[in-house]
Amino acid sequence: MSSDILKAIIKSVPADFASPSADYQVVRETMTPFHGHPTSADLSIDLQAYEGVRCGWHSLPHHNRDGLVALHYHGGAFVSCNLDAYHFYGELICRALDIPVVLPDYRLAPEHPYPAAHDDCFNAYRGLLEAGIRPEQIVVLGESCGGALALATLIRARDDDLPMPACFVSVTGWFDLSVSDYPAIRDPFLTPEWVQNRARDYSQGQLALDDPKLSPCFAELRGLPPLYLQVGEHDTMAPGALELAKNATLSGVEVTVESWPGMIHGWHGLLNAGVPEAEEAWARIKAFIRGL
């Protein structure tokens, strides 16, 4: 059963939060209050360029770059929230997992359509490797639309004979942008039509929404690193994550799937609101990566 604080947050979300009629400009306006929060004084943010992609290293005083590093591909539905708006989430992950966090500042649609974000995300990963970060140090995370970008990065890296990272962790990632299936209970933060429209903002008609380049759950997955998927019961994108788990399993990829009853899209981001389910989710992610 969901906690009282999570129920209260869900109840406070406007009924039209993810209206199918919203365009990308409305999405940007809607997302703004949820991002760009201040960071703590002890958080270090070091801006670096990897393969021409601006990235932010988020770390605490006791961190170093010799151990595990999280490479996090953030959300924002392809159209909103650049790196500067996501430093607070870098800190959230940094503290939850107690490791440094790198966030790439990939280009946003529709000004920069496909494959701009895909290219930036891949180049950031390749750039980290070329900078001397060992692949076994890297834990790749993908949040919301960043899940699609992260998984596409690993598929392209595999095809280019680059070494795989230690693992991939989905933070309610988008893996089927056609949203061919979805839960019967409406998610307060996403509707299928809203997701499809954001995918169209990005793809600009270049690809069908179920094309494996956009919807990586349908791609050839053999040779990928271990996948860790926390799947919320009411998350609009849950069926895509389950399709990914099925296809990855049948491709010989190690997959860990966790069922989270009552959970919605993006519940991990409610950690700073004191939501216990978010606290537990990050604790389990930390235990997973420490157990590799």
Q: What is the percentage of the chain residues whose pLDDT exceeds 70?
A: 100
Q: Which tokens belong to 200? A: 């169209």
Helices (H) and strands (E) in the chain, counts: 8, 8
Mean confidence (pLDDT) of the chain: 97
Is residue 239's pLDDT more than 80? yes
DSSP SS3 for 185 = coil
Question: Which H helix or E strand runs over 95?
Answer: helix 87-97
- What pLDDT, on a 0 to 100 scale, did the predictor assign at position 147? 98
What crossing angle do the helices spanning 87-97 and 276-290 adopt, rounded to 10°?
A: 60
List CB contacts of 286: < 8 A, sequence separation 6 or more: 96, 97, 98
> pTM of the full predicted structure?
0.97
Is residue 15's pLDDT more than 90? no
DSSP SS3 for 33 = helix
Mean pLDDT score, 249-278: 97
Is residue 240's pLDDT more than 80? yes
Is residue 94's pLDDT more than 90? yes
List CB contacts of 195: < 8 A, sequence separation 6 or more: 77, 174, 177, 179, 236, 237
How open is the CA angle 241-289-243, to the nearest 5 degrees? 10
- What pLDDT, on a 0 to 100 scale, did the predictor assign at position 140? 99
Mean pLDDT score, 138-154: 98
- What pLDDT, on a 0 to 100 scale, did the predictor assign at position 34? 87
> How far is the first Cα of the chain from the last one, in angstroms, to the nearest whole number?
30
Write out pLDDT tens, residues 36-66.
999 999 999 999 999 999 999 999 999 998 9
Rounded CA Rg of the chain: 17
Long-range pairs for 277-281 at CB < 8 Å and ≥24 separation? 277/2, 277/3, 277/6, 281/230
Neighbours of 141 (CB within 10 A): 26
List domains and CATH numbers for the chain. 4-290 (3.40.50.1820)
The dihedral of CA 156, 162, 168, 171: what is its sign?
A: negative
- What pLDDT, on a 0 to 100 scale, did the predictor assign at position 211? 98
Amino acid at 95: R
How far apart are alpha carbons 82 and 123 in whole angstroms?
17
How far apart are alpha carbons 269 and 134 in whole angstroms?
28
Q: Is the peptide bond before 110 cis (omega within 30 degrees of 0)?
A: yes
Mean pLDDT score, 212-223: 98
- What pLDDT, on a 0 to 100 scale, did the predictor assign at position 65? 86
Is residue 183's pLDDT more than 90? yes
Is residue 74's pLDDT more than 90? yes
- What pLDDT, on a 0 to 100 scale, did the predictor assign at position 1? 72
Strand-pairing partners, residue 142, are: 73, 170
- What pLDDT, on a 0 to 100 scale, did the predictor assign at position 69? 98
pLDDT range class, residue 27, cuts 50, 70, 90 = very high
